[in-house]
Amino acid sequence: MTPADLLREAVRRDPGRPYLTHYDDALGSRIELSYATFDNWVAKTANLLVDEFGTDPGDHVVLALPAHWQTAAWLFACWSAGLVAHPLGDGVTQIPEARVVATDAARLDAALDAGADEVVALSLHPLGAPYGDLPPGAVDYATQVRGHGDQFVTYTRLGPEAPALVAGARESSGGELAEAARAAAERYALTARDRVYAQVSMAEYADIVDALLAPMAAGASVVIGTNTTADTLDGRFSTERITATMGRLAGSAHARRLR
């Protein structure tokens, strides 16, 4: 198993079940993606990476992005296409060498200076709106991705031992990630009835495994918060029917604390 296999399994099991709900409290936005809708975004992005940018299995893709539903889609797109995802934490401006760099406005200049073959700018608009005016050398993710297919078929399927993630100094294969996800789902006793609120980074190995992959392995749902403070969580746990929490903010009296 690899993360791409976990996604395919989850879509087969219950495509209409909510997978990822994302709040950006700076914008006052909320967007919810079912497993099927999330899979469509993953497929479109994987097709963009392969067909438009000509990436090959094993190429590195840097994700200079905050915690966001589009960041999650890029992670899974990399894994679907056999690419190595290299997410960077907030504030990290040193962009490592990579075939493709995906970034938001905060690190666009640094990405253009890094010498990647392709620099992709994301507006991070809650509904995937275009970026707008771009400097030379950058392409607009929202504009480019929409023309690509909702299904992705790989012509070179890598084994689970192939590298899939570089998070900090740690490199992990797809098989290691899937195994860690299933172990975490069992450790946290996650089931398809769970709805997990996660206030985490998408650049740390443990956060990626616990907040994105473990809920998927269990068929559960995850709610991700960006620009969230404790004050903005009033009522959210009950509104979203949260059953478990993880991350920096305090949990709810009605939800179990995972970590």
Whether residue 240 lies inside any domain: the answer is no
In the chain, the percentage of residues whose pLDDT exceeds 70 is: 98
Residue type, 153: V
Whether residue 91 lies inside any domain: the answer is yes
Structural domains of the chain, count: 1
The pLDDT score that the predictor gives to residue 250 is 57
- pLDDT higher than threshold 70 for residue 3: yes
Whether residue 9 lies inside any domain: the answer is no
- pLDDT higher than threshold 70 for residue 243: yes
Whether residue 249 lies inside any domain: the answer is no
The domain in which residue 99 lies consists of 36-167
Whether residue 198 lies inside any domain: the answer is no
pTM equals: 0.96
Bridge partners, 166 (sequence order): 171
Count of other CB atoms within 10 angstroms of residue 160: 16
**Cβ burial, residue 159 (10 Å; 0-12/13-18/19+):** exposed
Q: Which residues of 60-76 are buried (b: 16+ CB within 10 A; e: fewer)?
A: bbbbbbbbbbbbbbbbb
pLDDT digit string (tens) for 192-217?
Answer: 999 999 988 899 999 999 999 999 99
Whether residue 106 lies inside any domain: the answer is yes
Cα–Cα distance measured from residue 172 to residue 166, given in angstroms and rounded to the nearest whole number: 7
Lowest mean pLDDT among 31-45, 126-140, 156-170, 245-259: 245-259
The pLDDT score that the predictor gives to residue 38 is 98
For the chain, the average pLDDT equals 93
- The arithmetic mean of pLDDT across residues 108-118, rounded, is 94
* CATH code for the domain of 77: 3.40.50.980
Helix axes of 3-13 and 35-47: crossing angle, nearest 10 degrees? 140
Whether residue 72 lies inside any domain: the answer is yes
Whether residue 237 lies inside any domain: the answer is no
Cα–Cα distance measured from residue 4 to residue 76, given in angstroms and rounded to the nearest whole number: 7
- The arithmetic mean of pLDDT across residues 93-108, rounded, is 95
